[in-house]
Amino acid sequence: MLFIVNPTAARGRAVQVWEEARRELGRQGIAFAEHVTGGPGEAAGVARAAFSDGVTRVVAVGGDGTLNEVINGYFDESGRAINRLSAVGLLPSGTGSDFRRTLGLATTADALRALARGRTRSLDAARIAFAGGVGLSRHLINLASFGLGGDAVRLVSDWRGRWPRWVGGRARFVAAALCALGRYRNVGVRVSLDEGRELRVESNLIVVANGRYAGGGMMFAPGAELDDGLLDVVLTDGVSRLEIVRELSRVGRGGHLRNPKVSLVRARAVTIESDPPLAVEVDGEPAGQTPARLSVLPGAVRFIV
């Protein structure tokens, strides 16, 4: 079992979690190796090499961004698992750590128990491709958001290191979202589903989800399932700045779907185009801008649960 540790996750909290976890692993007699990353992108390369060498368990120690890198290391360039006998695990210790919520890992102890049992489940993943061709695609395990969500995540990333330690993940996301609202403007968006159905909305906030949560516990897609072979597409249409502010508290429990200007559709593939382009975030990290196409990869990742 290889643990890939992001020492900068949650301003060093991942290191503290890992120090506690490694002592517990030792007490349980579980053999493991560790790799502490030195910069962005390194976790993906380390994971890819490990899977290629036959390591059967690779665990991300950090937040959703660290997990995303390990997931990208799980696949080869054609989008297939490098080693179908291998599995990904998570020791959540990031700023938001939202994917753990859908998995039901409430605490570090929960995660350690799951790793000790070693039970795995085949989960869906998705691939997102941006305009421009080769090299502009990546995999995701949780969700992608377009517009306000992409702008907010960029601000959270830009402000990294400036937050007081007591400010939690959701508070950071809400503060960044409120700041991003300063230049919020709905634009014309075309949403194509499964090579057939097409929707048009005036929007600056769209979510395409595999998992349920983002933004430090905001339940954007309350009905999303990790193994149904579908992506949950949450669309807003004509929502104003004031309405966004009013809905923030309801998003925490999934109540925003009762708003008539918010709709949910499910699809295997989604293409989002807009004029002007919208910012995109993938698994809590800035990723690019529209146009973008997402396609689900049913049961593509073996995950320790």
Q: pLDDT tens across 255-300, in order?
A: 999 999 999 999 999 999 999 999 999 999 999 999 999 999 999 9
Query: What is the per-residue pLDDT for 93?
Result: 93
The verdict on 274 and 148 lying in the same domain is yes
Percentage with pLDDT > 90 across the chain:
81
CATH number assigned to the domain comprising residue 82: 3.40.50.10330
The verdict on 145 and 104 lying in the same domain is no
CATH number assigned to the domain comprising residue 248: 2.60.200.40
Task: Please check whether residue 123 lies inside any domain of the structure.
Answer: no
The verdict on 138 and 274 lying in the same domain is yes
Residue 286 domain boundaries: 128-299
The verdict on 166 and 293 lying in the same domain is yes
DSSP states along the chain: -EEEE-TTGGGGHHHHHHHHHHHHHHHTT---EEEE--STTHHHHHHHHHHHTT--EEEEEESHHHHHHHHHHHB-TTS-BS-TT-EEEEEE-SSS--HHHHHT--SHHHHHHHHHH--EEEEEEEEEEETTSTT-EEEESSEEEEEHHHHHHHHHHHTTTTS-TTS-HHHHHHHHHHHHGGG---EEEEEEETTTEEEEEEESEEEEESSSEETTTEES-TT--TTSS-EEEEEE-S--HHHHHHHHHHHTTTGGGGSTTEEEEEESEEEEEEES--EEEETTEEEEESSEEEEEEEEEEEEE-
Q: pLDDT tens across 231-267, in order?
A: 999 999 999 999 999 998 899 889 999 999 999 999 9
pLDDT for residue 144 is more than 70: yes
Task: Please check whether residue 305 lies inside any domain of the structure.
Answer: no
Task: Please check whether residue 304 lies inside any domain of the structure.
Answer: no
Task: Please check whether residue 164 lies inside any domain of the structure.
Answer: yes
Give 166's contacts (C-beta < 8 A, 6+ positions apart): none
Confidence of residue 196 (pLDDT cuts 50, 70, 90): confident
The verdict on 141 and 227 lying in the same domain is yes
Task: Please check whether residue 105 lies inside any domain of the structure.
Answer: yes
Q: pLDDT tens across 3-18, in order?
A: 999 999 887 889 999 9
Mean pLDDT of the chain: 93
Query: What is the per-residue pLDDT for 170?
Result: 66
The verdict on 187 and 271 lying in the same domain is yes
The verdict on 19 and 161 lying in the same domain is no
Where does a domain end: 69, 91, 118?
118
The verdict on 18 and 98 lying in the same domain is yes
Task: Please check whether residue 7 lies inside any domain of the structure.
Answer: yes
> How many domains does one find in the chain?
2
Where does a domain end: 118, 144, 161?
118
Q: pLDDT tens across 13-72, in order?
A: 899 999 999 999 999 999 999 999 999 999 999 999 999 999 999 999 999 999 999 999
Task: Please check whether residue 218 lies inside any domain of the structure.
Answer: yes
Task: Please check whether residue 290 lies inside any domain of the structure.
Answer: yes
Query: What is the per-residue pLDDT for 167?
Result: 60
The verdict on 152 and 27 lying in the same domain is no
* pTM of the predicted model as reported, rounded to 2 decimal places: 0.93
Where does a domain end: 83, 100, 118?
118
The verdict on 31 and 177 lying in the same domain is no
The verdict on 132 and 270 lying in the same domain is yes
What are φ and ψ of residue 140, in 5° steps?
-145, 160
The verdict on 173 and 215 lying in the same domain is yes
